[in-house]
Chains A and B, each alone.
Chain A
Amino acid sequence: MEVASEMKKETITLNMGPQHPSTHGVLRVVLEMDGEVITRATPVIGYLHRGIEKLAESKTYNQVITLTDRLDYTSPFINNLAYVLTVEKLLGLEVPLRAQYIRVLLTEITRIQSHLVWLGTHALDLGAMSPLLYCFREREETLDMFEMVGGARMNQSYFRIGGLAGDLPEGFVDKVSEFSKVLPSRIEGYETLLTKNKIWLCRTKDVGIISGEDGIALGLSGPSLRASGVKWDLRKSNPYSSYEHFDFEIPTGKTGDVYDRYLVRMEEMRQSNRIIAQVLDKLPSGEINAYSPKVVPPSKEKVVNSIESLIIHFHIMTEGFEVPKGEAYCSVESSKGELGFYVVSDGSNKP
């Protein structure tokens, strides 16, 4: 006698709603689950859309810099840099070498700091709770440096069109150099906790494999693509802001799993440190702003002493400057990948 019993299998649809402890922000994922295994995950995005493109249309070019800070708030300087480079391209401005080197310095510190945030939160999500505090301890030092230079811990808007908002304060270079000397041992510390840890390996090795071709087709860039074996870094392939003066390696992975992405980012922190040491070594003296009276406001001493400078400063701050008609696209290697800005100018003072 045959008993044919059919077990009816159904997948359940679970909504991992916009607010959820592990989504770090708002991300909604609609999960189709077969028991405990997720068979299909459809992300629903848009909760963190802040309308920056629309806002930028109503602000002057300088004001948009504050908007760009907040795009990826773990790497404010890098976002600034991408936008500022694009507008400088449209204007045809050449930024002096000192400003370029300082930009590289701050960008690399930002990259290290952004990777520290990644490491702390990533480890926390996977169950390792101690790296979080250590990473954030290092991050506090970088935030102190940012405060010295930009006046705020995050979202400083320190890069300006034509150069920088102000020169480096006294004591900054010493602080960075101290940090740079201590960082390798700290990174060793994180590696000791995680890299050969059995639980870590179990949870990250051969998980989430993305092949190189898939990555390229899907537009993946940055450390995640490099972990899949594609050796592409915008700082090397299309250098900007004098990155070609510095010597550094591009780490790549082999399998493209979570573990490889972890290793690539750890190595990137070391390479960024290497770049920082080189910048500090070679930092030239000189102007920090390009000479462009219409775009770069005159210095504070001039403004206080001369009426023409005051008028020019006032005009630049309130009405901005006009950018010739045209368009430009400039992209940089941010800590997450390629970040580019496409700016279209209609000849007025607003993008």
Chain B
Amino acid sequence: MSEIGELVEKIKGKFPQAVEETVSFQDEHTIRIKREHLLEVAKFLKEEPDYDFNFLSDLCGVDYMGKDPRFEVVYHLYSLTHTHRLRVKVSLPDNDPTIPSVASLWKTADWHERECYDLLGITFSGHPDLTRILTPEGFKEYPLRKDFPLKGR
């Protein structure tokens, strides 16, 4: 198993109640964790020297309309020192799409979370300034959701 593969196993061992599943595809590893444990696990991933995920490559949301839980927030983490990547996913139900913000750990998450909120309607608690970023002022809908038509309303 590759080094990152072993590290992923160790995360499962350290946070057994947080990790819902781990997937490995080609050279990518994904862990799905519960939203209550997000900040704990994220802090661990960032600060622990073996992992050292100091770079948040991407933070996005995916809308799996028709599935429950409907939304998923996906974090792509990268470590500049170890050059390994990890994908962290958190599933959110349709009726309560809120999740703690990681902007305190990775400053870049600030705008990514704003975009996620703007386009998908996922609320990030603890965010310094959760306002719409891309859609015009006064826009009420969430365009990237699957029930929003391509040509708009």
Contacts and interface: CB of A to CB of B under 8 A. Distances in A.
Contacts of A230: 80
Nearest to B134: A46
Main secondary structure of the interface of B (DSSP, over half): loop
B107 A218 contact: yes
Given A53-B144, A54-B143, A342-B76, A218 B133 contact: no
Nearest to A232: B80
A21 to B, nearest CB: 23
A344 interface: yes
Contact of A216 (B80, B133, B136): B80
Contact of A340 (B57, B107, B108, B144): B57
A331 B57 contact: yes
Interface in A214-228: 216-219, 221
Contacts of A57: 146, 150
B134 A45 contact: yes
B28 A329 contact: yes
B122 to A, nearest CB: 15
Interface string B79-90: 010010101000
A92 B144 contact: no
Residue from the set B55, B62, B146 with the largest chain A CB neighbour count within 10 Å: B55
Main secondary structure of the interface of A (DSSP, over half): mixed
A302 B146 CA distance: 40
Interface string A161-199: 000000000000000000000000000000000000000
B56 interface: yes
Contact of B25 (A45, A54, A328, A342): A328
B28 A54 contact: no
A344 B62 contact: yes
Contacts of A45: 133-134
A155 to B, nearest CB: 21
Contacts of B150: 54-55, 57-58
A33 to B, nearest CB: 21
A17 interface: no
Contacts of A55: 150
A46 B136 contact: yes
B136 A237 contact: no
A342 B80 contact: no
A219 B60 contact: no
Interface of A: 45-46, 49, 51, 53-55, 57-58, 89, 92, 216-219, 221, 230, 232, 237-238, 326-329, 331, 338, 340, 342, 344
13 contacts: A53-B144, A55-B150, A216-B80, A217-B108, A219-B55, A230-B80, A327-B25, A328-B25, A338-B57, A342-B60, A342-B74, A342-B76, A344-B62
Given A46-B133, A329-B57, A342-B74, 10 more contacts: A49-B134, A89-B26, A92-B26, A218-B108, A219-B108, A327-B25, A327-B30, A328-B28, A329-B28, A340-B58
9 closest pairs, A vs B, by CB?
Answer: A219-B108, A46-B134, A237-B83, A217-B107, A49-B134, A218-B108, A218-B107, A232-B80, A216-B54
